[in-house]
């Protein structure tokens, strides 16, 4: 994939309360986890996910989700996942 997309989320300033809900199902996803050196490894891992999709003749169905998580032991890791078809 030579033209990856990015999504930016900007907070909404409103004078009244705004409620928003979104529900979706991703039944086929690939995921990887980074355990350290997040800044350097995230770019490498981003391209590894896209390469994996291409090599396995899949197509990307969603943007790449990036989640920071903390284990019960207090270790931080990053999960990168993407929906495929």
pTM: 0.66
Alpha-carbon distance of 7 to 2, in angstroms, equals: 17
Per-residue pLDDT at 67:
92
Chain segment 23-38, per-residue pLDDT in tens: 667 789 999 999 989 8
State pLDDT tens for residues 46-75: 999 999 999 999 999 988 999 999 999 999
CB neighbours of 41 closer than 8 A, spacing ≥ 6?
34
**Higher pLDDT, residue 40 or 4:** 40
Confidence (pLDDT) at 19: 72
Band (14; pLDDT cuts 50, 70, 90): confident
- Farthest-apart Cα atoms in the chain, separation: 49
């Amino acid at each position: 994939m030579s033209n990856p997309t990015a999504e930016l989320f900007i907070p909404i300033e409103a004078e009244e309360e705004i409620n928003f809900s979104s529900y979706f199902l991703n039944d086929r996803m690939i995921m990887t986890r980074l355990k350290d050196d997040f800044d350097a490894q995230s770019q490498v891992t981003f391209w590894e996910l896209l390469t994996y999709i291409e090599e396995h003749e899949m197509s990307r169905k969603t943007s790449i989700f990036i989640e920071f998580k903390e284990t019960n032991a207090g270790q931080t890791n990053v999960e990168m996942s993407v929906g495929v078809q």
